[in-house]
């Protein structure tokens, strides 16, 4: 596939070699010939904004400027957060709403999704915890403003 729009079924977007990405959905996995950043940006555009616009929105809502969580689509509260700076190719993007729990595994972290899928990440537990807390704060502000 050459393109992909993030949706409620999307659990994670993981970078692969040769500027490709693995898309992990609730019931399937497949390869897209785009980088994770391109998929995130195209998905933001599909829903009427851009990555930079969503990033500016995050800054306005929760004052986060680096490794910002992104609202892909606000009515369905589709929020993704990066594991590293979006400028680093190894950055994975994780769906906040599909996480069941997460934990430390020696020198890396594991995300367990609601469907039982386990994603092992090469980031510290503290970094993952911080990213999830930022995304949850963004979700909370979004919900309050929708009321």
> In this model, does residue 131 exceed pLDDT 80?
yes
Side-chain half-sphere CA neighbours of 5 within 13 A: 9
Alpha helix (H) residue ranges in the chain: 36-46, 51-62, 125-146
Give pLDDT, residue 145: 84
pLDDT of residue 53: 95
Write out pLDDT tens, residues 12-55: 999 999 899 999 999 999 999 999 999 999 999 999 999 999 99
Q: Where are the domains of the chain?
A: 10-98+124-146
Distance of alpha carbon 29 from alpha carbon 13, whole angstroms: 10
> Which residue from 99, 96, 62 is spatially nearest to 76, judged by alpha carbons?
96
Tokens read off for 141 = 């502000």
SS3 at position 6: coil
The string of pLDDT tens digits covering residues 66-121 is 999 999 999 999 999 999 999 998 999 999 999 999 999 988 999 999 999 999 99
Mean per-residue pLDDT, 2-12: 94
106 torsion bin: left (phi>0), alpha (psi -120 to 50), beta (else): left
Regarding pTM above 0.85, the answer is yes
146 has pLDDT over 80: no
């Amino acid at each position: 596939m050459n393109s992909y729009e993030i949706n409620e079924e999307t659990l994670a977007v993981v970078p692969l070699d040769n500027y490709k990405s693995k898309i992990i959905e609730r019931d399937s996995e497949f390869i897209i010939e785009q980088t994770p950043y391109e998929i995130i940006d195209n998905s933001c555009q599909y829903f009427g904004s851009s990555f930079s616009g969503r990033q500016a929105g995050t800054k306005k809502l929760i004052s986060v400027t680096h490794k910002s969580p992104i609202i892909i689509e606000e009515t369905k509260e589709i929020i993704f957060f990066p594991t590293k700076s979006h400028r680093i190719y190894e950055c994975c993007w994780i769906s906040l709403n599909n996480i069941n729990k997460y934990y430390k595994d020696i020198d890396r972290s594991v995300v367990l999704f609601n469907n039982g899928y386990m994603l092992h990440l090469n980031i510290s537990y503290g970094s993952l915890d911080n990213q999830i807390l930022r995304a949850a704060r963004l979700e909370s502000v979004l919900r309050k403003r929708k009321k």
